Structure 1
């Protein structure tokens, strides 16, 4: 491709060879003379076009703009049938080596792919053998990212671009890229991206953001395994991109149990109570990844999330480290018209889509402490969400596209009749840098404290010889002190000075799960009357009933799939409204020692619950039930997926030490209802008091200055009463390790004896070096 920059300024509303309309809508090709007639912009146009690399898509105009078959003219159509052959090139203005590859081209996006929404659309490039190479092999996103790709997305800006009519003065084109970079900065995998000028069949098409699509291939590249082994879901309704929802349903179900059980919280991560991996426990959730993902989106005030705009994936093999969550389409953040400086994302209940794990886990005190620890890591001590780090990152990113906004504004700013100019972009950039980024972190910290996700007790602050220093090099003669107005415990061996409570506080009391949502059960859709003995309290043979575990239900559309594993669609839809459940459980102690007992249940549409034959709760049904009773009212889908906690006063007298039966008659309102759900748990309080985590036997109470004889990972917490602070941790390197330590010799793979390999290290300085914690970075 040859690009003639002088021609860009002359790009007209009707270039030769291009159609005047796109499937009935007026085509848009022109570079707006209202902008380019202004000297301050016209004089910088060529420099602006050379300020970024350029990408060029070449394909037939028919494949792009034909009213019946063109992908751009029919931008609302999707899928492989709307994929067309094309060529993609990357051209550097300084002559550096780029690439050219033949590929498939599609239109990408959700709402903004609609022709009625905007005229600038996103593209997706797919590398397949029918067009050319099966992968793009090029370090498109630098040396720290993958170097081969099945697909690349060219993002057009959407909510952060001129596509959003009425929001033009707020655009930055950086917000999604910035949020994805923040997730990368947390230490997790996230979609890499960059900015380019895009040309389509020689015409300037605007500023675009090529980035990775976080699918199975992406997950394999950054987290290991084979791409075919990854279950991948994306927005909305956990749409399956690859694999299936089996593990997702297991994860969401166990999250409910983990909200009230430390053991279940560890099991969710594939671990036992000792924190060690258990091969018999599949790892379902990467908790650090998920919490960091939550924090980044909460910090950004992501208005259009968690019910939308996400990707998640899990390796389904035994090597799995749990579901990973990836930021995506995070454009409605950071001072858009719907994401103000003080926007409190904690006002969302997170009860849907990717918010569900958090909504279920936040009742667990250990989850809240883990969440607080991750917040402290990011919000303090030069973390990526400290104002200084944020301002530096955004300043650099915005500077990279400032000039590019001139041709972008000339190309697209007027598509909805707006008269904005690049000056509006500069004004919004400055508001973000001077108003939002300096204040947002402290505002969100207050929101998190109010929500119980960050403690009222401040974490200790590390000082070296009286001056704040968070890790790094120190001399062996220097003293480490810890500032804070409370009692402080610390360790030097990298372990937490606090040990978790093995029980979990729910509403201020210690809880014990008597029946988990994932409990085994017997299920029957009756074809006629069933003896009342099925309700428990007397002998009953349920051996012919369906056996399973987890929730019971069916879904003919979407919504309930994460909440049931026993599918009753063939037995119930169009046939029956009643479903009977018998759940046996063992009580290992005197029921009198139990505190308050609660029934937690998701239901659509009604139910009656029995404990050992005695009715203890009901909803949406009156009178005496029969074998084919129907619910008398509807429980909406929104309410049905949320646990309703029902207190069962004096229910201890119906329980007994040993075997018990929880029985449920679950009822739909109609045989033709499109869905049905019953998922139940039974939780009891204890008459004892909760321990909010204790002092580790390895911890030392801080009493004064500490001299480190060797490099150490220092971890410390403050405690006031029974309230612990978040964890503060840092590595202090004692002595001139980096300055004086050298690799002086390597013997690699010697012939005859592979065990004779060695690496020789030499201290080239005059001061002795302790090698504790020394490691090779790469």
Structure 2
């Protein structure tokens, strides 16, 4: 492909329910227990037990936990009730707490009568054995939306919560100016049910204690900064969720600092807490089904809690990852949710997979030990802010070999294809290791470019030299090259004219390098540039997923997901910070409070959030792909040749349908065997046929076509047709 200029000079129902008669029949068949004296309602909810394969023995603790019965299950309630607890085949004393701490023989109340539940409550119950040990432990959260919206209306700590969070800025409660606003007062309670809810329940000293609290000491990290907790997933429509005991840490870099009152969390599933994995389809049936860990992220830089930023969108990071996934690449999946901490509403959060070894094993196969996972930032207990590359799993040996090899003159096919484990002619060489997946690298960079990402994989805040916010994964036991993953994509979708295509100085040492440096090195090679032109055409032209129609549709889907929930975020965090946003700005207007103090006016959905959504829908997304194309064209990376146009897009056709191809001056060559009409070096594929007239589609077919004008090939046009 001809280049115009040198690229180096750029211009809710319980999971298990049964009637009382069946329940007692089951219990009485097991043992003559005095539970028959208890008056249970007709619905009794048990702690959900993960179904295990027939050959796998269920642990004694799991069986006992299933027998620890609650008359009401976790979820949303409008009317108060009396909660009855009981145990069946596992005799012992039941003790419970209501303050989030884990009950034990010496902690909590001995259960003797039903517990009155009159408001939002978290109840942790434990079955204490004759030896004084905890034989089973179950937590249930009961949410009453009518009182949630009135939590700490004056901003004072709720009962049991501290006045201070270490050195952190403190913010409690729901802003009644938002709750009572005519625009939101009929919506805010339904809004609490607009998304799934997570309930984090734990000893408050482990969270806010001066010495031990992870929230109070939010900049600490690693296993020493991990505390035990209970985590529940509650669906508002009554679908089964889960409850699991696990470990929790504060996650994040810049956002973990004490000036940010809203922190994000990472949950770890280990045998020491109960179960070694969370086994639940957290991200749907097509995604991983068990997890070692996952994150609850929250908006950071452009958020209302951190800097009072009116550009708070709460979608930026997730939407960037959505784009990479839509490109048919593995990406960290995520969804949106509400979070409660010991029953207190904590705001809008984002569930997120972590691209680490267990993630890789789930999606690519094999064992965790098969993978190298490389990232920027802190590992091994260090809080990181980018600038250093380290291995979270495996080692840096293959990464070092990749970066070292990429320093060669990659204009040579021998040097370039060596990175891909191929001979100079592009054919696989089993004697060479595969270090790079070029299609993944290109598509990853297109997501970076499209979003105008200022902080990944090279950071503007580090002089466009330091790496930041990226992950890479490689399976050592297969012929797989490093794949790159979008991560922490907050500094995006700002200026539609933003140009992050580079080239940037970057760093060429393995410990300081980045995907962008690799991309820039590979641009020296004509085969890489042709592949880049193909991917640009695939995604940015001809109804590709980065064209306005598709990006707007995907963005609007996420907007509708959180539209109601943003009202809750506004009530919780909209007045947390009087600042003018990330990077400065005029302070927001203040309002007088009943006690004569002044508070910043809250940021709201209908004003600030809708304005930012409107800006993206009307200013950024409609023109961004065209601007990006121009930025790449200036570097000679977009072909002037238009690929052949197919008379039918990919999809289903009647058997025998005729398909026409239209193109400009030159010859059109096409294949139906899955190969490319163009071979390495620009040679014609012997299996390619010259297009002379309509093609008959008689069976399922993958059609690939290019235009050849002189010695220049157009980008690849490709479609798949299924016959009916």
Give the TM-score normalised by the residue count of structure 2.
0.71
2:267 corresponds to? 125
User: In the alignment, what sits opposite 1:489?
Assistant: 669
| Alignment of structure 1 residues 279-678 onto 2, 5 Å | 279-306=430-457, 307-317=467-477, 319-335=478-494, 340-349=495-504, 351-352=506-507, 353-417=514-578, 418=588, 419=601, 420-423=603-606, 424-464=608-648, 469-470=649-650, 472-501=652-681
More displaced stretch, 258-267 vs 83-92: 258-267
Question: 1:455 touches 1:723 (CA, 8 Å); kept in 2?
Answer: no
CA contact (8 A) 1:63 1:70 kept: yes
Shift of 1:400: 0.5
Matches of 2:669 and 2:169, distance apart in 1: 69
* Superimposed CA distance per residue, residues 442-500 of structure 1 (whole angstroms, 9 cap, x where no aligned partner): 11111111122221222221115xxxx34541441524222334432222322211122
Q: Considering only aligned residues, what root-mean-square deviation do their CA atoms show, in Å?
A: 1.8
Q: How many angstroms does 1:26 deviate by?
A: 4.7
Q: Once the 2 structures are TM-superposed, how far is the Cα of residue 112 of structure 1 from its aligned partner? A: 0.8
1:157 to 291, 295, 299: 299
Greater shift, 221-230 or 258-267, is seen at 258-267
Structure 2 residue 83 is matched with structure 1 residue 94: no
Aligned to 2:165: 22
Quickly say closer, same or farther: Cα 1:87–1:274, change in 2 above 3 A.
same
1:192 aligns with 2:333: yes
Contact 1:486–1:720 (Cα < 8 Å) also in 2: yes
Which protein is bigger by CA-based radius of gyration?
1
CA–CA distance in 1 between the matches of 2:303 and 2:498? 21
* Structure 2 counterparts to residues 743-762 of structure 1, below 5 A: none
Segments of 5+ residues of structure 1 without an aligned counterpart are 502-692, 737-778
Cα deviations by residue, 1:29-65 (Å, 9 ceiling, x for unpaired): 1212232231111221101001011100001110000
Q: Which runs of 5+ in 2 are unaligned?
A: 1-140, 377-385, 458-466, 508-513, 579-587, 589-600
Name the counterpart of 1:76: 219
- 1:109 aligned residue: 252
Match of 2:151 in 1: 11
**Match in the other structure for 1:264:** 415
Q: Is the Cα–Cα contact under 8 Å of residues 655 and 698 in structure 2 kept in the other structure?
A: no
Q: Which residue of 2 aligns with 1:612?
A: none
Distance verdict in 2 for CA 1:273–1:471, change over 3 Å? farther
Instruction: Give the superposition deviation at 1:435.
Output: 2.4
Structure 2 residue 188 is the aligned partner of structure 1 residue 45: yes
* Contact 1:220–1:227 (8 Å) recurs in 2: yes
3-state SS of 2:329 partner: coil
Report if the CA contact (8 A) 1:462-1:483 is conserved: no
- CA apart distance, 1:348: 4.3
Give the whole-Å Cα distance in 1 for the aligned partners of 2:697 and 2:653: 11
Distance change >3 Å, CA 485–CA 24, structure 1 → 2: same
CA contact (8 A) 2:372 2:394 kept: yes
Out of 706-715 and 97-106, give the one that drifted further: 706-715
Answer yes or no: is the 8 Å Cα contact 2:235–2:241 preserved in 1.
yes
Q: State the match for 2:719 in structure 1.
A: 730
Deviations 1:720-776 (A, max 9, x none): 33332111111233x41xxxxxxxxxxxxxxxxxxxxxxxxxxxxxxxxxxxxxxxx
In structure 2, do the counterparts of structure 1 residues 369 and 164 end up closer, same or farther at CA, with 3 Å as the change threshold? farther
228-237 vs 183-192, which moves further: 228-237
Superposition TM-score, scaled by structure 1 size: 0.66
What's the secondary structure of 1:41's corresponding residue? coil
Structure holding more strand per residue: 1
Bigger CA drift: 34-43 or 325-334? 34-43
Cα distance in structure 1, aligned partners of 2:620 and 2:654: 35
Q: 1-side partners of 2:700 and 2:343: how far apart?
A: 59
- Return the alpha-carbon distance in structure 2 between the equivalents of residues 138 and 350 of structure 1: 44
Whether 1:145 and 2:306 are equivalent positions in the alignment is no
2:93 maps to none
Q: Answer whether contact 1:195 1:208 (CA < 8 A) is retained.
A: yes
Give the match's secondary structure for 1:2.
strand
Residues 261 and 306 of structure 2 are in contact (CA less than 8 Å); yes or no, is this contact kept in structure 1?
A: no
